[in-house]
Structures are given as structure tokens and as C-alpha cells.
Amino acid sequence: MRGNFGRILLVELRGDRVAVEHVALPEAAYHAFVGGVGLGAYLLWRFAPAGVDPLAPEAPLVYAFSPLLGTPLTTTAKFAVLCKSPLTGRISDGLSSSRFALAAKRLGVDALVIRGALDRLGWLHLDEDPAACRVEPCPAWAGLSAHELSDMAAKQGLFRHVSAIGPAGEAQIRYATISNDGRHAGRGGAGAVLGAKRVKAISVRGAAVAGVADAASVQVRARDLAARSAGAATEKYRALGTAANLETFDRLRILPRRNFQTVSIGQAAARRLAPEGLARAGEHVRDSCAGCTIGCDHRYGGTRIEYETQFALGPLIDVDDPACLLAAAGACDALGLDTISAGGTLAFAMECAERGLVDWPLRFGDDVLPWLRAIARREGAGDLLAEGTRRIAAVIGQGSERFACHVKGLELPGYEPRAMQTFALGLCVACRGADHNRSGAYQADLQAGVDRYRADVARAPARVIEAEDNAALLDSLILCKFLRGAIREPWREGAELLAMVTGVPRGEDDLRRSARRIAAVRHAFNVREGWTLAEDRLPDRFHDEALEDGASLDRADVAAMVDAYHAARGHVPRGGPSERLRRELELDAWLTDAPPLQGPASLG
């Protein structure tokens, strides 16, 4: 099989040392889980001890590569980062683009599984030659942003590509990111897990090549995909970026404002925060991830802005000054904070303060820069805000849980669920918590023939499952989701791409089974870590408070959709995969209860 190396690197940290060991994976694992988030979910299941504290040394952090990574296919220079989330206690899987992804796969492995912890802050260097892997203590790097660290390392000739944490990761903020050459693996707090291992930065060096089975066909397809990626289907991303959503969503009345109290900021404010307004506040430059022919990376005054950041640090906290928004986004980038969770947490804190539940001098519309810095350093009230919305609500109490906008502890993205009721189901059941990326069910609400203000118990579960499975396919191959409009038949094309790259024929149905298996393993992981059906719900605000236009979300309807979703997925009531599903997807071969493999012997 080409495209993969058939082995992973087990990385064990202890004291100020590292030991590494190659572990072979059977070809069947690649067939079953493809790569990226799929392969990573399996490895997380395999290597995380049941019930592990996400910040404990024995909790693994998984970097999973993909078969398409390293090929000339557009948007494939990405990898997945997985862990048990310190924010949710459930599975967390983030994707990140970067040249680091390309460099890391050249270690000659398909995934890194990092366990253990250092005694003090260190730089972990991984090498294709196991004997050259090492740890260098780096106390002087404490407090540096990932960007500062990259600059310094480049000047000193230390390394070119790096996966690193900022101050928030060092302080184990539960929504800290890992930055990879400037792109973040954001949601769920993987940065805190790396911080708990006291790893400031990971550099890599290798020259291994996985190769492709049919290089000529891959070249032809790469040119074809690049041409399609330059067409009308991706024009929004190229020409405007996702920041163009804000004004549209304001008009559709699905733009959450003031901690999901309302859904519009008005036309004038929306225009101020739209790409034209941002360009007045900071010079506009367009960029792209490594190996991408779309280029949706729009920067204003040097700060990368996409819709979720713009929503969370703008309308959600009632900021309508583009300069303030850009400053807050730049600070999150430098500190290493997930922008959605940072904005969501601050919005919740603002509402608590305005209601008099806490005496913090924090109001909607305030400049949040000092608060972001306090969070990243756990100073003053920042220490509690660093814990995320769910934990803050548990401390404050006084009914604040009603408007603590999270699912499973993960703060909500920028789509109003009362006005997008298929997406509301997607939020409830998403394995990593309130999430727009692992399902994208908002697409289902924005199409002709769908009444987005109605919970469609009969049809919504199938729509959400299809969206989740589509996302699992793209996230495992890995192809950027912004390419999806240019791929008419993702299952057929996904199977073709895999066959060209690996040389192993794949059928569409077989690939669909892989996507369902990936969903089943993620759910099984959550069940093992304590998931209950009670988690698959939205906060009371969405049921008890109607929007100005009367839109509301019926509690019983949502519960019925959630039940129907689990039944359609083949889960036993209130539990994991049914016997039938286990047989059908051969889950018992993968979900073994065998203890995780032992660490490398060299650490004793």
C-alpha cells in the first residue's frame, strides 16, 4: 500500500528525555479508518486509558496524517490533532493546515502518539532517525507566542516548521490551541494537553516519502481539482473569505448577538464588520494554506479573519468596531486561544455581570483585550474564565446554566439554532460538542424545501447523519471542506483518489462504511468516557426564550430528533453501538479492551 507508511511513532516523554518507538499498524486499519480524524479516532481509543484525566501525563495527544498528504492534490497539506478534550471530557479532533504537516509526514510515519510529560518546559525534536529524537529544555521560551517562537527559531536556524503552543497552552487554558506554522488546531483545548506535557514546540526532520501508486493519474487529477477549485463554487472563499457570511447571516437573522439573546446587529453594524469594513481598519491581504489553490485566508492589518472569529469576537460580545475585533482576534492568535470559545466564554461572563450575578467590571461591547490576557495567564477572574462556559456556570450557579451557551462544554459556533433547526440537532449530537465542522448540518437548513424554523423529526436525523459522514470522509482523506462545492460526488471521487494514491481499490459503499465506522468509534469513545444522552441537548435559553420574530425550539421536538438520530445511527437506547452495528461495521475487531501498548523500553 502506498500513501501510508504502515506505522506510527509512539513518543514517550519523561523527565527531560524522550524515547520513541515505531509501532506497525495493519493495512486493515487504513482500510477501516482511512487517515486523518478517522485514523486518529481509532488511535485515541487504542491509546487513551479509559477515564483518563485529559491533562494527566498518560493522556495521549495524537497527530494523525492522511494518505493524500504529500501528494500534489490541492488542499491536502493538513493533519488532525486528537485528544480527550480538557474542555468537554469527550473526544476532540481538530484539523490544521501547514507546511509542518508536509514536513511531519516525512518522518516516515502516519501518526504521532505522544504520551507522558516533561519535568520542565521543553522543545521536542522528532527525527526520522529515532536515535536523533531529543528534548531541549527551553525555559527562556516561556510566554512566547507561537509566531514569535517561529521567527526566533528561523533567525537562529533551529527549525523551519513547528507545532507550538502560546502562553494559553502553557497555562493549560481549557480552550488553548496548537499553532502549526500560524494555523491553529482550535477547538477543544489540545493546546492545554500539549502544555500539560510541558512541550512548548515540536520540530521535525525527515526525508521519507510514502509515494503514490499511480503517479500519472494523481497528476492529472491534481490539475483537474486545481482547475475546479478556481471555479464559481469556491469564489466566495477566494474573493471575500468566510467573513462575507456575517452580513448575509445578519440579513437571514441567524447571526447570534449578545450571547445568543438576539439575531441581528443591524445593517450598518454588519457592514462595518463585513470585509469592506475590515479592510478600512487594516490593510487587506489574501493568502493560502500550504499547497492550496483556493486561498481563503484573508488578513486585515496582518490578522487572519474568518467568520467564526468575526462572529465570536464581534456580535456575540456586542463589539461592532472592526479595529477592536481585529485586535481581539490578533490577541487570541498570539496567546493561543480558540476564538469561538474565548468569545463564547466572555459573552457568557458579560451576561452574568450585567445581570449582577458576578461583580466583574465587564459589559457587552467592552474592549476584551485585557480580559483575553488575563485568561491566558489565569490572572484574577481570568483564572475562572480559563475554564470555559460550563465550568464557570457551575461555579456561579444562580440559574446561569440556563444561558450558558455550550453543548458538552464546547461553546456554540455562529449559527442561531432556533432559526436553523436541523443544525440544532447537529449541535446536540456532535461528538466533540457544539460544533459546525464535524457535520456542517447548517447546509441542510439553507436549501429550498426545508423549513428551517421547524424541527423535522422525520427527516432531520438523516440529513445530519449524511452531513456528518460527508465531513468524516473529507476530514479523513484529508481534503479541505471549502473544496466540497467543487466535488459533486464525494464518495466516488474519494474512492478514486484513495485507489490512485494507495493502489488499493475502494468502493463508494465501502468508503461510506468507513465513515460510519469513524462515527461509531467516536461515539464509543464518548460512551466509554461517561457520555449520557442528557448531554445531547441545548441550553434552556434556546427552548424558553423565543427570538423577536417568535422563533423557538421545542424541547420535546429536539429530544425526539436526538432519539431518532441515535436510533438511525444504530446506537442502543442511551448507549453505544448496538450488536448489529458492531457486527455490520466489524467494530469488535477495533474496539478491543486490550490495554494500550506499552511505552518504549528505553525509558525503563
Partner 1 sequence: MVTVELYGVPRLRAGASRVEVPAGTLASILHALASILPGLVPDIVHDGRLTEHALVAVDGREIVADPTLPIADGTVLVLISAAAGG
Binding residues for partner 1, per CB under 8 A? 232-237, 239-240, 242, 244-245, 247-248, 251-253, 306-308, 414, 436, 440, 442-443, 446-451, 453, 481-482, 484-485
Contact segment (CB under 6 A) with ligand SF4 among 15-23, 212-220, 293-301, 377-385 equals 293-301
Q: What does 75 bind: ligand SF4, partner 1, none (CB cut-off 5 to 8 Å by kind)? A: ligand SF4
Q: Does 578 bind ligand SF4 (CB under 6 A)?
A: no
Smallest gap from Cβ 579 to partner 1, in A, equals 36
Q: What does 447 bind: partner 1, ligand SF4, none (CB cut-off 5 to 8 Å by kind)? A: partner 1
Q: Does 73 bind ligand SF4 (CB under 6 A)?
A: no
Give Cα 86 to chain centroid, integer Å.
14
Q: What does 97 bind: partner 1, ligand SF4, none (CB cut-off 5 to 8 Å by kind)? A: ligand SF4
Smallest gap from Cβ 74 to partner 1, in A, equals 16
CA distance 284 to 275: 9
Contact 491, 511 (CB under 8 A): yes
Q: Does 80 bind ligand SF4 (CB under 6 A)?
A: no
- Among left, alpha and beta (phi > 0; psi -120 to 50; other), residue 143 is left
Q: Does 308 bind ligand SF4 (CB under 6 A)?
A: no
Which 494-513 positions form the footprint of ligand SF4 (CB under 6 A)?
Answer: none
Q: Does 97 bind ligand SF4 (CB under 6 A)?
A: yes
Among residues 295 and 461, whose Cβ is nearest to ligand SF4?
Answer: 295
CA distance 150 to 334: 12
Q: Does 294 bind ligand SF4 (CB under 6 A)?
A: yes
The three grid cell numbers given for residue 491, joined into one nine-digit string: 464518495
Strand partners for 406: 411
Question: What does each C-alpha distance from 275 to 184, 241, 279, 297, 601 come to in angstroms?
Answer: 22, 8, 6, 12, 54
Please count the residues of this chain forming the interface with ligand SF4, following the rule CB under 6 A: 12
Which residues lie closer than 8 Å to 476 by C-beta, 6 or more apart? 33, 34, 35, 36, 37, 38, 39, 66, 514, 515, 518
Smallest gap from Cβ 292 to partner 1, in A, equals 15
CA distance 174 to 176: 6
Smallest gap from Cβ 263 to partner 1, in A, equals 11
Q: Does 478 bind ligand SF4 (CB under 6 A)?
A: no
Q: Does 145 bind ligand SF4 (CB under 6 A)?
A: no
CA distance 327 to 201: 25
The three grid cell numbers given for residue 556, joined into one nine-digit string: 420535546
**Strand ranges, E, within 156-213:** 162-164, 178-180, 183-185, 199-205
Q: Does 288 bind ligand SF4 (CB under 6 A)?
A: yes
274 three-class SS:
coil
Q: Does 89 bind ligand SF4 (CB under 6 A)?
A: no
CA distance 504 to 169: 40
Q: Does 289 bind ligand SF4 (CB under 6 A)?
A: yes
Q: What does 295 bind: partner 1, ligand SF4, none (CB cut-off 5 to 8 Å by kind)? A: ligand SF4
Smallest gap from Cβ 287 to ligand SF4, in A, equals 7
Among 65, 237, 348, 423, contact with ligand SF4 (rule: CB under 6 A): 237
Among residues 73 and 467, whose Cβ is nearest to partner 1?
Answer: 467
The three grid cell numbers given for residue 339, joined into one nine-digit string: 476564538
Which one, of 11, 196, 199, lies nearest residue 86 by Cα? 196
Among residues 292 and 353, whose Cβ is nearest to ligand SF4?
Answer: 292
Which 344-383 positions form the footprint of ligand SF4 (CB under 6 A)?
Answer: none
Contact 197, 114 (CB under 8 A): yes
Give Cα 330 to chain centroid, integer Å.
19
Smallest gap from Cβ 199 to ligand SF4, in A, equals 25
Binding site for ligand SF4 (CB under 6 A): 75, 97, 237, 288-289, 292, 294-297, 480, 482
